[in-house]
Amino acid sequence: NNYNKEVIGLAFDGTGYGDDGTIWGSEFLIADKRQFKRIASFEPFRLPGGDEAVKDVWKIGLSLLYNIFKTDIPEKFNHVKSEQVIELLEKNINCPFTSSLGRIFDGVAAICGISYTVSTEAEAAILLEEMASGVTTNSYFIIPYSKDNGIYKADTTSLVKDITHLILQEKSIEEISAIFHNSIVELIISIVLLIRKNFNINTLALSGGVFQNRILLRNLIDRAEGEGFSLLLPKNVAFNDSSLALGQIAIANEILLKEKE
């Protein structure tokens, strides 16, 4: 976008290695081409089995349910229940932490009974998006967030608890999917408004594979423009890995130029 000032950067994807040693993927950043500051994220949750959970998304769903119910998971969710995986969670064996929004989409798809295993990454998230398409609703969950060690953390467990409550009430999966999408958008707007107020930055830069979700992207653009934000979107590359590679080149170039100064 040929933009060189600071932005509020939204980096929402499946897997990103964070500088704290955990797996990132739902990051609100203040950034320019040389440096960034992490302002907010989703509260991390565990990926039982590590990379295996990316394919077996039911394991992500089980992890999210375990944070609410521990071992007393309702029978309604037996389709994602496994004693072996619960044991991994109980003993915290091979369960790395992640804040990935892409993985939250996967886990919610599994909890809703939409997808249990995938053949390609983001397949479960795409199916969740398809469920929400065509549904008209303004309803959303209020996802609380609070400051933890200087970083605002959105309450992942609260979001999943609200979703499970609707499932147990026999709400349609299509409506739940739409409400879930709305909830993510409203959380994003709430946090970027807070960042704008505290740091006086009015430009949003969006990147990461999660933004290939058309419902999420369209609704976020509408809400952000309604709040007076300027938006920067990938134009000549995709939202996912090609953007990542281009960004790495741009950052490396800026660092090299700085070293020559």
pLDDT at 15: 86
Phi, psi of 260 (to 5 degrees): -80, -15
pLDDT above 90 (res 247):
no
* Residue 245 banded pLDDT, cuts 50, 70, 90: confident
pLDDT at 221: 98
pLDDT above 80 (res 19):
yes
- For the chain, the first-to-last Cα distance in angstroms comes to 24
Q: What is the mean pLDDT of the chain?
A: 95
| Tens digit of each residue's pLDDT (9 = 90 or more) over 127-146 | 999 999 999 999 999 999 99
Parallel, antiparallel or unpaired: strands 23-31 and 7-17: antiparallel
pLDDT at 75: 95
| Tens digit of each residue's pLDDT (9 = 90 or more) over 105-133 | 999 999 999 999 999 888 999 999 999 99
pTM score, two decimals? 0.95
Tokens of 12: 């929402």
